[in-house]
Structure 1
């Protein structure tokens, strides 16, 4: 019988397996903790999206929890979102769309557009978009059982 040495001994395999098990267990525990709704939101994240030269622009926004985790917090029941879009003299936003909630009210006064939505309970993200002309900036304000939280304003530059 020929003995072939592969360069890996049984101790190394057992030692590696012993270290791999806790790492796998820790990796699977993290998503379960971040899906918990017991974390109180402390801030709002807002990010702009869209392609240069295209008019369809928008923002994606969600609630985040406290440092150091900054985890995404599911929307509690009764949460509303107000998107305030402010345009320059030649700016405008038309045909707004939103995923993650239902439109309650919309207003347009001068260069300010306001869209109020009831967000989907348990949802974690809202996308708002429209056909943007000129320069428009958007801000998100969430209200709910946690109080009121507002984002900074981000620019949406149309095509």
Structure 2
């Protein structure tokens, strides 16, 4: 069941039922060729031919610096204050809004002992974070400059006393 409503920050409208305006406007029959060209990929005869082979391999390793960014953010939350410089400009407001929830989650766990990369989920590097008082899955998405785009909540793996 949806828990939110996607809304364009520019138009303040929802695109449900209307779709999303494409960046590259071409007739539907030419969409595959245009997409592959924009991605620097060779053309294919049809989507069935392109689907027979994997064009893009999913990422299975963490992005460089994501562990360091996550350590800085976890340490920052221990202070109870947001350091805007750790976040990408588009993520600062969300960091401030989520602070009360994250502080409540973070306080239960104590001092961070270790981070171990686990997986990539929906673009975020997922880590098992071991603390004094328990273990949690925590994810971070970073931009090319290493600034945080998003943090997932603390999902308990082991008890937090």
Per the normalisation by structure 2, the TM-score is 0.29
The structure in which a higher percent of residues are strand is 1
Which structure has the larger Rg over C-alpha atoms?
1
Per the normalisation by structure 1, the TM-score is 0.30
Structure possessing the higher relative contact order (Cα contacts under 8 Å, 6 or more residues apart): 1
